[in-house]
């Protein structure tokens, strides 16, 4: 039976989001039974559904120490409704232990259940999905530290072997990288259900932060950019291009450390098989990535290290302005849109997003020092 705080939170969220109470109850039922209401609120804070102030105020209102009417000033009804609608889509009304969004026709990944084991890891919650995978919450059975379990699926009929290869390549790619700004891989199994056990960052990703806060202060945008650039420098030195740098793949820890994840479509300089297999079969060649962050050459299937710089430039523009530039148009000068940003930052962003890849500065060839010079700040050494 739900505790009084859980019932109060469900009623309050349904009221503020203007949703039927049973919708919120369905969401609650799909959450891991081991989570307390406070832990659920903390998770939603990390995911950007509620602000930390709002979550605390809800608890105080339940205790009679805060006016419930004042909560409306701390909660955005439209954003809350969208978040709850999304969570409701993931909850399964008929099978309350089955978690994850409905699987589209043609996908081969099963929807896992709470308490189900993958190898030695027990499924404790659902974290999200990517183009080639779904991600669940688990914990190391011996060390008791939280882990992210990434389960492979094939989103497009006819490319099962290709995406399986990509999944295995990502695990081996991450295993080669040991850097504080890159999500680490701890284990991999290539059985009936292929999966990886990854480091669980625990904090919100950049997409959630931008959705909740809008544009970041220049100094915070600089700190994010430097840590992403450091991650790319380590990957590029290992011969690896990420090819999908975007807000959803920029994770944070509860301490605020930035970590780059999801190397699922990374290209290795000398590790992946050539374009033609030993049997003479042509490998599928198509543009992988996220269109709004893809460099011109990447849209034609030729993304590499300098494509990562292009995506980082777009991401920096988004962090500073709160929006994305129009496709096919010249990047606006950021210093004309945002206070406390120098013209040097604007010009560096334009170089990072130049149509000609050779004009873009690489993390291994001075990009980090150029960022420090343009912003006039330094970040503590990695």
Residues acting as catalytic residues = 244
Instruction: Report the alpha-carbon distance of residue 133 to residue 136 in Å, rounded.
Output: 10
How many Å apart are CA 289 and CA 301, to the nearest integer? 9
Q: Do 155 and 288 contact (CB within 8 A), yes or no?
A: no
Of 19, 29, 23, 24, residue with least CA distance to 8: 24
In angstroms, the first-to-last Cα distance of the chain is 48
SS3 track for the chain: CCCHHHHHHHHHHHHHHCCCHHHHHHHHHHCCCCCCHHHHHHHHHHCCCCCHHHHHHHHHHHCCCCCHHHHHHCCCHHHHHHHHHHHHHHCCCCCCCECCCCCCCCCCCCCCECCCEECCEECCEEEEECCCEEEEEEECCCCCCEEEEEEECCCCCCCHHHHHHHHHHHHHHHHHCCCCCECCEEEEECCCCCEEEEECCECCCHHHHHHHHCCCCHHHHHHHHHHHHHHHHHHHHCCEECCCCCHHHEEEECCCCEEECCCCCCEECCCCCCCECCCCCECCCCCCCCHHHCCCCHHHCCCCHHHHHHHHHHHHHHHHHCCCCCCCCCCCCHHHCCCCCCHHHHHHHHHHCCCCHHHCCCHHHCHHHHHHHHHCCCCCCC
Tell me if 166 sits within 8 A of 177, measured CB to CB. Answer: no
Rounded Cα distance, 183 and 177, in Å = 9
CA distance 244 to 230: 16
């Amino acid at each position: 039976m739900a505790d009084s705080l859980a019932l109060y939170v469900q009623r309050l969220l349904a009221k503020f989001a203007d949703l039927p109470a049973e919708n919120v109850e369905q969401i609650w039922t799909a959450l891991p039974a081991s989570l307390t209401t406070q832990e659920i609120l903390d998770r939603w804070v990390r995911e950007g559904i509620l602000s930390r102030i709002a979550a605390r105020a809800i608890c105080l209102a339940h205790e009679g120490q805060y006016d419930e009417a004042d909560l409306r000033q701390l909660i955005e009804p439209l954003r809350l409704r969208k978040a709850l609608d999304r969570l409701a889509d993931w909850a399964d009304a008929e099978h309350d232990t089955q978690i994850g969004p409905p699987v589209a026709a043609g996908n081969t990944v099963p929807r896992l259940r709470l308490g189900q084991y993958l190898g030695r890891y027990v499924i404790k919650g659902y974290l999200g999905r990517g183009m080639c995978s779904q991600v669940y919450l688990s914990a190391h059975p011996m060390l008791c530290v939280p882990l992210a379990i990434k389960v492979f699926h094939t989103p497009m009929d006819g490319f099962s072997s290709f995406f399986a290869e990509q999944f295995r390549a990502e695990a081996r790619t991450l295993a080669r990288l040991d850097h504080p700004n890159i999500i680490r891989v701890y284990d991999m199994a290539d059985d009936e259900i292929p999966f990886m056990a990854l480091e669980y960052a625990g904090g919100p990703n950049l997409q959630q932060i931008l959705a909740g806060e809008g544009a970041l202060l220049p100094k915070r945008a600089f700190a994010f950019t430097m840590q992403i650039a450091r991650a790319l420098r380590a990957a590029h030195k290992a011969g690896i291009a990420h090819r999908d740098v975007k807000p959803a793949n920029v994770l944070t820890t509860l301490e605020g450390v930035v970590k780059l994840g999801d190397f699922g479509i990374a290209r290795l300089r000398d590790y992946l098989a050539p374009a033609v297999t030993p049997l003479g079969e042509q490998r599928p060649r198509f543009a992988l990535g996220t269109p709004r962050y893809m460099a011109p050459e990447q849209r034609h299937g030729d993304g590499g290290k300098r494509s990562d710089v292009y995506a980082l430039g777009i991401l920096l523009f988004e962090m500073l302005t709160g929006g994305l530039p129009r496709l096919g148009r010249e990047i606006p000068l950021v210093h004309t849109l945002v206070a406390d940003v120098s013209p040097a930052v604007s010009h560096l962003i334009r170089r990072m997003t130049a149509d000609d890849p050779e004009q873009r500065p690489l993390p291994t060839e001075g990009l980090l020092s150029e960022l420090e010079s343009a912003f006039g700040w330094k970040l503590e050494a990695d």
